[in-house]
């Protein structure tokens, strides 16, 4: 059994609300006077603030009925206005698109393009603010229900690679909700005895077409997924990506997972011990493997169409166990 249908519906409706609010706010911005950006936006910004506030209140208000139906009554009732207020002052969010547009104009970009840049930023910020208000209400409502002991991240496609690798993870309430601008992910309440199993990164990737995988992960990472590599290892490798010269050639490598705690690091440490060799060098307080960990893109470049060789390299670099 997957995440309860109500949790999936809650996620979908929350994402739709955030998107609809963002489109409405964008329309307000699009009505600015290109000849007098600052004054015209000052006149229109209150309406944008009103729309964002309404979207936040609607998102926060959806938490209580969902939790009552899903888990039961809590110890107290959620206050949607408080959840919306917890996202912070709207003034910086409303000032950001104006500053972006004016900055691009000063740098020589066309006025129309500059206004579009401001619109894109405002849309992203709006979606984030609405989703955040909802997530704050969700978490507060779960904490108010002692039967709920943790929460599980609910991710629905389309989603970015960073969210997909977090799909199905269970968190305690002391852990904050990891999100990025425009993140639509929500959470499902977990109680002792619940037997449902959330969708994991592999499940979401399996739902995607090859074209969708390439769009989200990139061509080489999508190929590595098809060859059986671990999605989290592939995506997280990008965090420590760098370029260096090894064995006489320039290659793309990553420092991610190269300590003894990481999958690749544990593997290298085991090999080093068996060979009586040195594991690594100390960087800061942690020892990292001496041998470079290749990026997936580098592996497929070096394999040059030889799939068997690519799979060997994926195993050697800790992407396949």
Residue 191 backbone zone (phi > 0: left; psi -120 to 50: alpha; other: beta): beta
Q: Is residue 51 part of a domain?
A: yes
The list of the chain residues with pLDDT below 70 reads 1, 247, 271, 275-286, 290
Distance CA 94, CA 117 (A): 14
Do 231 and 82 lie in one domain? The reply is no
Residues 6+ apart with CB under 8 A from 188: 3, 4, 7, 151, 152, 154, 198
Closest CA to 161 of 228, 227, 226, 239: 239
Q: Is residue 112 part of a domain?
A: yes
Furthest CA-CA distance within the chain: 72
Looking at 161, 181, 201, which one is the last position of a domain? Answer: 201
For residue 17, the model assigns a pLDDT of 97
Looking at 169, 201, 233, which one is the last position of a domain? Answer: 201
Do 37 and 70 lie in one domain? The reply is yes
Domain encompassing residue 226: 208-316
For residue 276, the model assigns a pLDDT of 62
For residue 1, the model assigns a pLDDT of 46
CB 2 within 8 A of CB 196: yes
Other Cβ atoms closer than 10 A to 243: 10
Do 50 and 188 lie in one domain? The reply is yes
Peptide bond into 190 cis (omega under 30): no
Do 116 and 140 lie in one domain? The reply is yes
For residue 8, the model assigns a pLDDT of 87
Q: 280 pairs with which residues across the strands?
A: 289
Other Cβ atoms closer than 10 A to 61: 18
* DSSP SS3 for 317: coil
Looking at 186, 201, 216, which one is the last position of a domain? Answer: 201
For residue 32, the model assigns a pLDDT of 96
Do 168 and 251 lie in one domain? The reply is no
For residue 267, the model assigns a pLDDT of 76
Q: Is residue 214 part of a domain?
A: yes
Do 156 and 218 lie in one domain? The reply is no
**What angle do the packed helices 296-303 and 307-316 form, to 10 degrees?**
140
């Amino acid at each position: 059994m997957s995440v309860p249908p109500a949790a999936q519906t809650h996620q979908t409706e929350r994402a739709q609300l955030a998107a609809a609010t963002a489109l409405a706010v964008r329309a307000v911005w699009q009505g600015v006077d290109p000849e007098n950006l600052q004054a015209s936006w000052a006149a229109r910004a209150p309406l944008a603030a009103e729309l964002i506030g309404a979207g936040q209140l609607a998102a926060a208000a959806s938490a209580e009925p969902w939790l009552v139906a899903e888990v039961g009554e809590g110890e107290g009732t959620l206050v949607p206005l408080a959840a919306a207020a917890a996202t912070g002052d709207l003034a910086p969010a409303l000032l950001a698109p104006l500053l972006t547009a004016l900055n691009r104009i000063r740098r020589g970009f066309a006025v129309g393009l500059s206004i579009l840049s401001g619109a894109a930023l405002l849309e992203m910020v709006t979606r984030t603010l609405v989703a955040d208000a909802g997530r704050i209400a969700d978490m507060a409502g779960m904490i108010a229900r002692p039967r709920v002991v943790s929460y599980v991240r609910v991710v629905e496609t389309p989603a970015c690679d960073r969210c997909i690798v977090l799909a199905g993870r269970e968190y305690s309430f002391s852990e904050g909700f990891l999100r990025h601008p425009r993140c639509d992910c929500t959470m499902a309440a977990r109680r002792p005895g619940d037997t449902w199993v959330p969708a994991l990164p592999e499940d979401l990737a399996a739902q995607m077409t090859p074209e969708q995988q390439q769009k989200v992960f990139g061509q080489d990472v999508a190929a590595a997924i098809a060859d059986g590599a671990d999605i989290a290892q592939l995506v997280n490798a990008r965090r420590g990506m760098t370029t260096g010269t090894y064995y006489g050639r320039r290659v793309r490598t990553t420092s991610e997972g190269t300590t003894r705690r990481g999958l690749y690091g544990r593997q290298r440490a085991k090999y080093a011990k068996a060979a009586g060799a040195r594991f690594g060098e100390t960087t800061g307080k942690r020892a990292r493997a001496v041998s470079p960990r290749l990026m997936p893109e580098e592996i497929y470049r070096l394999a040059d169409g030889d799939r068997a060789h690519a799979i060997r390299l994926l195993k050697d670099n800790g992407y396949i166990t």
